[in-house]
């Protein structure tokens, strides 16, 4: 796949198309809208919130808008064109975004503002963790940084601020609008963060159990929750061994958990098996949305990062009963 990408990039270069995130003239609202390219939905939604009610002077693209797995995404030729002609390009910068380096390396990238959100977070980023009872991914021996950074409400404020600064720089005429939008949006993020904290401190249970993949490391860490899961991060493995199923079932019994969690878009096969293996066999299956497969259609229907995280709070409250 990498090879194909390089061939494509080379082809662009030879055709002289890849002018590269590098339009020479300054942004002129008269003739051209600000071109902003984002990868996944949470990033797109933060940009839209900073742009505010009247995002008319910008055109914002969300590259991953079909619900396809972000962990195996590769850009099309059209996607690469968009990135290399953007004024601002914002991406997560984790292991699923390794393709970005290849695209940027080959573009003459002097005007474009490129934002790698994991770089911005610095020492706030965390490695994927292997906790007791998890399946081990035998193909992947080295520890990777957990790229699901958008699942920390707390860190979202840092990233939104940087997005606003980039917008204000690229479109200085509207800087005060962007700054106002940024403060009111960060206030909403902070409010919701407070609600999460309050819910967790009131909860009698402080452990979440996922009979599934586990992209929620940042969320559990923000609120001091313990967790168990079948797989670390978004491991490509999907079969849980007898040992894993038994371990999770015994934990449910031991901690008297009322719910087993899954993430969106997966079947509940492992959760069903785990529940059947517990003593009571009557736990509820709940789903936390990790915002990894939001589509253009969801966006058109008005979904937002905040509404999903509000729904997740309801689920969390139920899981911690």
Binding site for Zn ion (CB under 5 A): 215, 234
Tell me how many degrees the CA angle 123-128-130 measures, rounded to the nearest 5. 135
Q: How far is the CB of 148 from Zn ion (least distance, A)?
A: 6
Which runs of consecutive H residues, i.e. helices, occur in 125-256? 153-170, 175-202, 217-222, 242-255
Q: How far is the CB of 284 from Zn ion (least distance, A)?
A: 24
Q: How far is the CB of 119 from Zn ion (least distance, A)?
A: 19
Nearer to Zn ion, 71 or 206 (CB): 71
List the one residue out of 112, 136, 134 whose CA is nearest residue 37. 112
Nearer to Zn ion, 88 or 134 (CB): 134
Q: How far is the CB of 307 from Zn ion (least distance, A)?
A: 20
The helix (run of H) or strand (run of E) holding residue 119 is: helix 117-121
How far apart are the C-alpha atoms of 294 and 287, rounded to whole Å?
15
166, burial (CB in 10 Å: exposed 0-12, middle 13-18, buried 19+): buried
Nearer to Zn ion, 166 or 234 (CB): 234
Separation in Å, CA 243 to CA 34, 54, 240, 253? 53, 54, 8, 15
Nearer to Zn ion, 43 or 252 (CB): 43
54 Cβ neighbours under 8 A, 6+ residues apart: none
Nearer to Zn ion, 186 or 234 (CB): 234
Q: How far is the CB of 64 from Zn ion (least distance, A)?
A: 12
Q: How far is the CB of 147 from Zn ion (least distance, A)?
A: 7
Tell me how many degrees the CA angle 310-206-158 measures, rounded to the nearest 5. 45
**CB nearest Zn ion: which residue?**
234
Nearer to Zn ion, 89 or 214 (CB): 214
Nearer to Zn ion, 18 or 234 (CB): 234
170 and 113 in contact (C-beta within 8 Å)?
yes
Q: Are strands 88-91 and 34-38 parallel, antiparallel or unpaired?
A: parallel
b/e string for 258-287 if b means 16 or more Cβ within 10 A?
bbbbbbeeeeeebbebbbebbeeeebeebb
How far apart are the C-alpha atoms of 43 and 288, rounded to whole Å?
19
Nearer to Zn ion, 73 or 205 (CB): 73
Q: How far is the CB of 275 from Zn ion (least distance, A)?
A: 24
SS3 at position 142: coil
73 and 62 in contact (C-beta within 8 Å)?
no
Q: How far is the CB of 22 from Zn ion (least distance, A)?
A: 32
């Amino acid at each position: 796949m990498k090879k194909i990408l390089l061939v494509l990039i080379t082809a662009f270069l030879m055709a002289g198309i890849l002018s590269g995130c590098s339009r020479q003239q300054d942004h002129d609202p008269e003739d051209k809208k600000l071109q902003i390219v984002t990868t996944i939905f949470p990033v797109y939604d933060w940009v839209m919130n900073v742009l505010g009610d009247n995002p008319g002077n910008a055109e914002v693209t969300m590259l991953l808008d079909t619900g396809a797995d972000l962990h195996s995404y590769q850009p099309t030729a059209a996607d690469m064109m968009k990135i290399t002609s953007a004024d601002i390009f914002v991406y997560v910068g984790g292991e699923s975004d390794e393709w970005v380096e290849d695209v940027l390396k080959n573009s003459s990238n002097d005007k474009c503002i490129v934002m790698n959100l994991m770089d911005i977070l610095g020492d706030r980023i965390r490695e994927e963790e292997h906790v007791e009872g998890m399946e081990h991914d035998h193909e992947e021996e080295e520890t990777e940084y957990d790229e699901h950074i958008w699942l920390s409400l707390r860190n979202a404020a840092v990233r939104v601020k940087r997005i606003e600064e980039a917008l204000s720089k690229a479109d200085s005429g509207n800087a005060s609008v962007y700054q106002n939008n940024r403060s009111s949006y960060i206030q909403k993020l902070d409010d919701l963060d407070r609600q999460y904290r309050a819910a967790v401190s009131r909860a009698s249970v402080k452990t979440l159990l996922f009979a599934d993949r586990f992209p929620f490391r940042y969320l559990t860490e923000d609120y001091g929750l313990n967790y168990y899961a079948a797989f670390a991060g978004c491991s490509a493995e999907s079969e849980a061994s007898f040992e894993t199923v038994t371990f999770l079932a015994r934990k449910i019994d031991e901690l008297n958990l009322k719910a087993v969690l899954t993430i969106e878009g997966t079947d509940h096969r492992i959760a069903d098996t785990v529940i059947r293996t517990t003593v009571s066999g009557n736990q509820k299956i709940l789903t936390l949305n990790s915002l990894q497969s939001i589509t253009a259609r969801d966006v058109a229907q008005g979904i937002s990062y905040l509404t999903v995280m509000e729904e997740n709070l309801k689920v969390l409250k139920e899981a911690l009963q």
